[in-house]
């Protein structure tokens, strides 16, 4: 269950934080297995760097010293980052001399947006990003790698109760080439209209295309026909070609998207689907764009999005084109442990063994026993008070701690599995919990059953 006395700023209870930690551990493992280096950037950026992309400035939280010295906030106003891509691009440019390109990094941090909080949408939320940036030119195969690593990451999460995903792909060049081929030169306006397809439906998109991009009826029809195309194989290219629009960028985009679909189908069949209405809101994408549907939770919106950005990271002289995706950890968590909880941790503490205390004067015997178990890698805590053993057992039970250790049972050391009630003699240098009990486990919750 989450607590959010400040609307949009979720906090999890301890047992649910264990779920989140497991999610993060699996993401880290998958990303590192694939050669991505862990990176962190600071939480703040100059406002000028945050506000330059489209309408994003409306969502930014500004940061200023409460007692700023005269003129300080005016000189260099700061804001909290609203994603991890813009700070990463800035980091790459600043540190280019110390990085080896192509550079692959993952980054798991909170980001902040001043939007109205809704289901699965927060003002502070954790994102897990992977990106690859190169110097000058970025090979196309990286546009294949990114969504397939993301698919692997979701695969690694499936044991934690995360449903399967469909990664939806499109290509900005394809959309841009198609628009220009139709004679529509305000591509940004076209993208903005297409991006609303799922939200407002094709008829309203047609109206918008007329109003905002100056599209006539024929152009509207062509764009809607394009946007409706969806395919899990390279076959979509024929459908696009059949629309009879021609432009060099369209050909480039088609080729790139076909390559992605073909490679994805060979390597992880079915997980990537071409969906030509995918446009993405952010201005900086220049090639592939991706969104991700959580199967059965399509209304949640995309849980992992991104794309290729050729010109985001630049110092004017040199450019570092990149491609990446961002997984919405908090949004996933809203489904895993939210109102219709899917999973729960087997306990609310890391502790596997609680060492009972017989007498406060002999507490240090229990502390010493706990030290010995910890030295053997067993998470152990000591009872907070030398209460009656029944109360000490209830202390363990409330937290889901499976074992209680008695340092001076009738036969010396004894350990009780408080689930079965079984109590056995135990040697602190030998006894160990079952592997499943050593750390908290994550289990599915059966709702309405």
The residues in 80-109 that bind a copy of itself, with binding defined as CB under 8 A, are 80, 91, 94-95, 98-100, 102-105
Choose the stretch contacting a copy of itself; rule: CB under 8 A; options: 7-15, 166-174, 273-281, 317-325.
Answer: 7-15
Q: Which of 48, 368, 391, 443 binds a copy of itself (CB under 8 A)?
A: 368
Of 24-53, binders to a copy of itself (CB under 8 A) are 32-44, 46-47, 51
By CB atoms closer than 10 A (0-12, 13-18, 19+), residue 155 is middle
Q: Which of 66, 74, 361, 449 binds a copy of itself (CB under 8 A)?
A: 66
Rounded-to-integer distance, Cα 136 and Cα 133, Å: 9
Shortest spacing between CB 231 and a copy of itself, in angstroms: 21
Of 395-414, binders to a copy of itself (CB under 8 A) are 395, 398-399
- Which residues are 79's β-sheet partners? 45, 62
Of 221 and 441, which CB lies nearer to a copy of itself in the complex structure? Answer: 441
Q: Which of 327, 349, 356, 404 binds a copy of itself (CB under 8 A)?
A: 349
The single-letter DSSP state of residue 269 is T
Q: What are the residue ranges of helices labelled H in 246-323?
A: 248-267
Of 371-390, binders to a copy of itself (CB under 8 A) are 371, 374, 377, 379-381, 384-385
Which residues have a Cβ under 8 Å from the Cβ of 268 and sit 6 or more positions away? 148, 151, 152
Of 216 and 368, which CB lies nearer to a copy of itself in the complex structure? Answer: 368
Q: Which of 75, 199, 266, 339 binds a copy of itself (CB under 8 A)?
A: 266
Distance of CA 404 to the CA centre of its chain: 38
Shortest spacing between CB 207 and a copy of itself, in angstroms: 27
**Residue 200 interacting with a copy of itself (CB under 8 A):** no
Shortest spacing between CB 240 and a copy of itself, in angstroms: 25
Shortest spacing between CB 219 and a copy of itself, in angstroms: 34
Q: Which of 67, 75, 199, 339 binds a copy of itself (CB under 8 A)?
A: 67
Shortest spacing between CB 157 and a copy of itself, in angstroms: 16
Shortest spacing between CB 384 and a copy of itself, in angstroms: 5
The single-letter DSSP state of residue 272 is E
**Residue 431 interacting with a copy of itself (CB under 8 A):** no
Shortest spacing between CB 330 and a copy of itself, in angstroms: 11
Whether the CB-CB separation of 370 and 382 falls below 8 Å is answered with yes
3-state secondary structure of 428: coil
Whether the CB-CB separation of 309 and 89 falls below 8 Å is answered with yes
Crossing angle (nearest 10°) for helices 248-267 and 172-182: 150
Shortest spacing between CB 61 and a copy of itself, in angstroms: 5
**Residue 445 interacting with a copy of itself (CB under 8 A):** no
Sheet with 165-171, edge to edge strand ranges: 37-38, 103-112, 124-133, 322-328, 304-309, 288-294, 165-171, 272-275, 230-231
Whether the CB-CB separation of 337 and 387 falls below 8 Å is answered with no
Of 215 and 382, which CB lies nearer to a copy of itself in the complex structure? Answer: 382
Q: How many CA atoms lie within 13 A of 312 on its CB side?
A: 30
Of 130-189, binders to a copy of itself (CB under 8 A) are 134, 139, 141-142
Of 323-342, binders to a copy of itself (CB under 8 A) are none
Q: For a copy of itself, what does the binding mask look like between residues 235 and 264, x meaning CB under 8 A?
A: ----------------------------x-
Rounded-to-integer distance, Cα 272 and Cα 278, Å: 13
Of 64 and 425, which CB lies nearer to a copy of itself in the complex structure? Answer: 64
Choose the stretch contacting a copy of itself; rule: CB under 8 A; options: 232-240, 251-259, 307-315, 347-355.
Answer: 347-355
Q: Which of 23, 26, 27, 60 binds a copy of itself (CB under 8 A)?
A: 60
Rounded-to-integer distance, Cα 139 and Cα 222, Å: 31
Q: Which of 48, 53, 64, 274 binds a copy of itself (CB under 8 A)?
A: 64
Whether the CB-CB separation of 343 and 336 falls below 8 Å is answered with yes
The residue whose two tokens read 């600071």 is: 42
Q: What is the 3-state secondary structure (H, E, C) of 124-155?
A: EEEEEEEEEECCCCCCCHHHHHHHHHHHHHHH
The closest of 326, 323, 314, 327 to 133, measured between CA atoms, is 323
**Residue 315 interacting with a copy of itself (CB under 8 A):** no
Binding residues for a copy of itself, total number by CB under 8 A: 87
């Amino acid at each position: 269950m989450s607590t959010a006395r400040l609307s949009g700023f979720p906090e999890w209870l301890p047992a649910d934080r264990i779920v989140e930690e497991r999610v993060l551990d699996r993401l880290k493992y998958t990303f590192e297995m694939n050669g991505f280096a862990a990176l962190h950037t600071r939480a703040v950026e100059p406002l000028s760097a945050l506000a330059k992309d489209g309408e994003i400035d409306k969502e930014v939280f500004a940061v200023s010293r409460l007692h700023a010295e005269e003129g300080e906030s005016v000189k260099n106003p700061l804001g909290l980052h609203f994603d991890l891509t813009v700070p990463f691009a800035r980091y790459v440019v600043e540190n280019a001399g110390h990085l080896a390109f192509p550079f692959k990094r993952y980054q798991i941090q909170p980001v902040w947006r001043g939007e109205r909080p809704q289901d699965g949408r927060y003002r502070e939320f954790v994102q897990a990003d992977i990106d690859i940036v190169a110097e000058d030119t970025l090979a196309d195969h990286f546009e294949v790698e990114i969504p397939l690593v993301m698919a692997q990451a979701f695969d690694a999460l499936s044991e934690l109760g995360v449903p399967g995903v469909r990664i939806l792909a499109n290509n900005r060049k394809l959309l841009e080439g198609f628009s220009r081929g139709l004679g529509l030169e305000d591509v940004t306006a076209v993208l903005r209209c297409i991006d609303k397809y799922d939200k407002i439906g094709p008829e309203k998109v047609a109206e918008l295309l007329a109003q905002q991009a100056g599209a006539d009826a024929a152009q509207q029809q062509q764009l809607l026909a394009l946007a409706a195309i969806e395919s899990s194989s390279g076959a979509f290219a024929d459908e696009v070609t059949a629309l009879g629009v021609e432009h060099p960028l369209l050909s480039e985009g088609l080729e790139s998207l076909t390559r992605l679909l073909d490679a994805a189908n060979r390597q992880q069949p079915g997980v990537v689907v071409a969906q030509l209405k995918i446009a993405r809101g952010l201005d900086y994408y220049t090639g592939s764009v991706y969104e991700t549907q959580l199967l059965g939770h399509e209304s949640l919106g995309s849980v992992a999005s991104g794309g290729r950005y050729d010109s985001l990271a630049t110092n004017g002289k040199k450019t570092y084109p990149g491609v990446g995706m961002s997984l919405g950890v908090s949004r996933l968590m809203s489904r895993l442990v939210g109102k219709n909880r899917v999973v729960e941790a087997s306990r609310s503490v890391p502790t596997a063994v609680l060492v009972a205390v017989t007498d406060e004067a002999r507490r240090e015997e229990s502390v010493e026993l706990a030290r010995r178990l910890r030295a053997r890698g067993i998470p152990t805590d000591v009872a907070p008070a030398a209460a009656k053993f029944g109360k000490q057992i209830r202390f363990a039970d409330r937290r889901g701690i499976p074992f209680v250790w008695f340092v001076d049972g009738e036969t010396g050391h004894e350990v009780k599995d408080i689930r079965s009630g079984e109590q056995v003699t135990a040697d602190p240098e030998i006894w160990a919990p079952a592997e499943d009990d050593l750390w908290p486990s994550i289990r599915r919750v059966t709702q309405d059953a």
